[in-house]
């Protein structure tokens, strides 16, 4: 570094620690200064850092890619001579200062970003992200010209490239954590190590049935789990298929756009798609977990919020474009036709933003909105064992169950029993489809098993457990049977409190003599009268004798003086004073005042004005008159 004149001995008053960081994939080291003390005193450069997603918007029809990496990029920038001493670092060999920009300086990234933007400004097909430069072209001839122009510009500014890290003329290239090709952009394979496969997305995977076959073979309930090369290969194929399914296409400027949204109980999701060759292709995904307060909103409000949030997320891609909004919440298609007076302020706020971009809201079946359903169901499901371990045995028991035979021959029943194929076993189950969701009809021998499995999860009460089981299964008299089983649960009887005893509010006994127990309250602010804006009302609890004392303000000092000069001078010192929990009456001055008088101070319970109803009634008279 000293030979290159990047470092020199220093006599600076500044000194920052030095850290040595190994460079990725090499045996070299990068020295980084710990400039936190200097950075805290430095005026920050607000030059923006680009968003990684922005450069993909201009890659449509690009087929040839190159990636340029600059060697010692930060060292290409000279530090101003007056500021060199501020970049001094401590080393085992003494104090040195850098003449070139160093890692760790708070403005280093913004400074280099401004510089590299100046270098690449006006160059076609060139996109710079700090020291990584991407060149994208439609063909080899254009790509050659783009590279030639870029190299000429780099040479003009004296920049050097790291040839060992550069890639030239590739049809598929890894850049900034993504895999780029003419088809679109997708995550790198090593970013896809987590294989949390969502069931609804498998229909987007080519040949997913064959990939599932090996997995299904190791999941047979009658055999021990066997994991060998076949399931392992199927597992890897499934991971690759998921990565392929998440391919984001390059945006086409003239293509028709659509926004697909969905909301669940815990999250919202959206997909921005474009129409290409007669089918919708995703160009951006969005998902957001809801706060606890938002999870309490109605389904309509959550779906409306998903549209609002998705538009805010993609507004830079939607402004000035015509697009349709697809949702599985049918009432939303009439949202711009309803009376605004029936909307809440939050709904009006959401609709105001949505209307600035599009009012074309269309309904789509939930089964056709699969990607957004998956994005909005981001809550991780815990792995639990199904209460029905052998579906073939379950189906066989259904055929022999007497209750099921009665319902099959009963035309007056509200249940619609149909045979439905089981997804995890090669058999058909008799299910009720009257609610729109297939619910297996549970034979007698499986009912207690299902109850025990779901009740032991958290021991919910009768209503909660009934709702949980009825949403998944059906059998005659199930509500009464569930109630009986819950009431007989020993754990619930030991742990759950059926009745909560609430202590009633205390009452004041009537005093024996007059002027021993008084109630006080403050009325105002009222219209000014002779410099007084408030009234101090005092009522004797025994005789109900009232007094209204005008006071200029409601400070504790003013209240104490008014009580002493009027009531106490007229009727003597009371034994008890009752008041509300106003800050003046809870102050240390008022407490010292009552202590000096030897008076007991009683504060009433918040939001229970019944304890001073006479005082309140007396005070309201002045408010009405005012």
* CA-to-CA dists, residue 203 to 181, 260, 370, 428, 436, angstroms: 23, 18, 9, 22, 22
Q: How far is CA 569 from CA 43, 413, 563, 566, 574, in A?
A: 66, 85, 8, 5, 11
User: How many angstroms separate the Cα of 226 from the Cα of each of 214, 423, 424, 594?
Assistant: 11, 21, 17, 82
| 401-439 per-position pLDDT tens digit | 887 777 777 767 778 888 888 766 678 888 888 887 888
The DSSP result for 569-590, as a single string, is HHH---SEEEE---TTTTSHHH
Are 11 and 145 found together in one domain? yes
Tens-place pLDDT, residues 222-265: 455 455 555 556 555 555 555 555 667 878 888 889 998 988 88
Give a yes or no: residue 128 inside a domain: yes
Whether 11 and 137 share a structural domain: yes
Contacts of 172 (CB under 8 A, 6+ apart): 65, 179, 180, 181
Structure pTM? 0.45
Kindly state the average pLDDT of the residues 503-514.
Answer: 73
546 and 608 together in one domain: yes
Query: Structure tokens of 555?
Result: 């400070």
3-state secondary structure of 166: coil
Residues 186, 189, 193, 195, CA torsion sign: positive
3 state SS for 336-368: CCCCHHHCCHHHHHHHHHHHCCCCCEEECCHHH
| Domain finish residue from 333, 353, 382 | 382
Q: Are residues 33 and 54 in the same domain?
A: yes
Q: What is the pLDDT of residues 569-590, one digit of tens each?
A: 888 888 888 888 888 888 888 8
| Bridge partners of residue 96, in order along the sequence | 9, 89
Gyration radius of the chain's alpha carbons: 38
pLDDT at 262: 87
User: What's the pLDDT band for 279 if we cut at 50, 70, 90?
Assistant: confident
Supply the DSSP symbol for 474: B
**557 occurs within a structural domain:** yes
**Rounded-to-integer distance, Cα 515 and Cα 540, Å:** 6
Which of 322, 350, 382 is at the close of a domain? 382
CATH at residue 485: 1.10.340.70
- Is the confidence at residue 216, as pLDDT, over 50? no
Structural domain containing residue 325: 251-382
Same domain, 275 and 137: no
Indicate the pLDDT class of residue 199, thresholds 50, 70 and 90: very low
Which whole-number Å values give the CA distances from 580 to 307, 559, 612, in the listed order? 48, 14, 8
Whether 560 contacts 577, CB under 8 Å: no
Give the whole-angstrom CA distance, residue 462 versus residue 319.
51
φ, ψ of residue 103 to 5 degrees: the values are -65, 140
Q: 3-class SS at 51?
A: coil
CB 578 within 8 A of CB 587: no
Clarify whether residues 353 and 399 are in a common domain. Answer: no
Same domain for 336 and 280: yes
> What's the confidence (pLDDT) of residue 308?
93
Nearest residue to 441 via CA among 484, 410, 485, 483: 410
Measured from the Cβ of residue 493, the count of other Cβ atoms closer than 10 Å reads 11
- The rounded mean pLDDT for the chain is 78
Same domain for 177 and 265? no
Total domains in the chain come to 4
**pLDDT number for residue 382:** 38
More confident of the two residues 333 and 21:
333
- Report the distance separating Cα 413 and Cα 406, nearest Å: 10
For residue 273, being part of any structural domain is answered with yes
**pLDDT tens digit string along 436-455?**
788 888 888 888 888 888 88
Contact status, residue 537 vs residue 506, Cβ threshold 8 Å: no
How many whole angstroms separate alpha carbon 188 and alpha carbon 184? 13
Four-CA torsion 199, 205, 207, 210, nearest 10 degrees: -30
Residue 529 lies in a domain: yes
């Amino acid at each position: 570094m000293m030979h290159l004149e990047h470092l020199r001995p220093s006599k600076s008053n500044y000194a920052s620690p030095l850290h040595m960081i190994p460079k990725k994939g090499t045996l070299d080291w990068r020295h980084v200064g710990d400039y936190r003390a200097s950075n805290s005193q430095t005026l920050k450069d607000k030059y923006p850092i680009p968003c990684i997603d922005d450069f993909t918007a201009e890659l449509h029809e690009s087929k040839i890619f190159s990636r340029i990496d600059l060697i010692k990029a930060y060292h290409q920038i000279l530090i101003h001579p007056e500021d060199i001493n501020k970049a001094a670092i401590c080393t085992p060999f003494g104090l040195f200062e850098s003449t070139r920009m160093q890692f760790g300086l708070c403005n280093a990234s913004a400074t280099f970003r401004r510089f590299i933007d100046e270098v690449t400004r006006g160059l076609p097909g060139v996109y710079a992200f700090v020291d990584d430069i991407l060149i994208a072209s439609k063909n080899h001839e254009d790509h050659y010209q783009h590279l030639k122009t870029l190299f000429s510009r780099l040479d003009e500014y004296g920049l050097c490239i790291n040839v060992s890290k550069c890639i030239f003329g590739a049809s598929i290239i890894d850049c900034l954590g993504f895999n780029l090709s003419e088809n679109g952009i997708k995550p790198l394979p090593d970013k896809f190590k987590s294989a949390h496969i969502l069931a609804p997305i498998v229909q987007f995977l080519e040949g997913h049935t064959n990939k599932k076959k090996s997995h299904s073979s190791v999941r047979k309930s009658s055999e021990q789990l066997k994991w060998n090369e076949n399931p392992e290969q199927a597992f890897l194929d499934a991971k690759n298929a998921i990565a392929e399914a998440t391919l984001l296409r390059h945006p086409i400027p003239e293509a028709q756009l659509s926004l697909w949204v969905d909301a669940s109980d815990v999250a919202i999701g959206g997909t921005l798609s474009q129409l290409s060759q007669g089918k919708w292709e995703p160009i951006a995904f969005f998902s957001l977990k809801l706060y606890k307060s938002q999870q309490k909103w109605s389904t309509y409000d959550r779906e409306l919020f998903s549209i609002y949030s998705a538009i805010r997320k993609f507004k830079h891609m939607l402004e000035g474009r015509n697009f349709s909004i697809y949702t599985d919440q049918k009432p939303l298609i009439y949202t711009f036709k309803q009376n605004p007076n029936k909307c809440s302020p939050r709904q009006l706020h959401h609709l105001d933003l949505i209307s600035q971009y599009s009012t074309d809201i269309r309904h789509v079946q939930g089964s056709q909105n699969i990607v957004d359903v998956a994005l909005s169901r981001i809550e991780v499901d815990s792995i639990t064992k199904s209460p029905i371990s052998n579906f073939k045995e379950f189906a066989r028991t259904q055929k022999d169950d007497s209750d099921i035979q009665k319902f099959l021959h009963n035309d007056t029943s509200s249940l619609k029993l149909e045979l439905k194929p089981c997804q995890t076993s090669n058999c058909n189950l008799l299910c009720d489809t009257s609610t729109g969701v297939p619910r297996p009809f549970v034979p007698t021998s499986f009912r207690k098993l299902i109850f025990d499995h779901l009740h032991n999860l958290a021991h919910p009460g009768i209503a909660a457990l009934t709702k949980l089981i009825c949403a998944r299964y059906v059998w005659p008299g199930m509500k009464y049977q569930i109630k009986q089983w819950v009431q007989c649960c020993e754990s619930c009887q030991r742990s759950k409190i059926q009745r909560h005893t609430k202590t009633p509010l205390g009452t004041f006994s009537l005093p024996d003599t007059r002027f021993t127990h008084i109630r006080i309250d403050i009325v105002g602010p009222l219209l000014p009268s002779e410099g007084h804006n408030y009234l101090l009302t005092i009522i004797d609890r025994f005789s109900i004798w009232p007094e209204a004392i005008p006071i200029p303000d409601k400070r504790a000092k003013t209240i104490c003086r008014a009580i002493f000069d009027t009531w106490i001078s007229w009727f003597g010192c009371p034994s008890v004073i009752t008041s509300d929990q106003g800050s003046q009456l809870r102050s240390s001055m008022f407490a010292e005042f009552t202590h000096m008088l030897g008076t007991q101070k009683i504060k009433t319970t918040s939001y229970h004005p019944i304890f001073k109803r006479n005082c309140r009634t007396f005070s309201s008279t002045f408010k009405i008159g005012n």
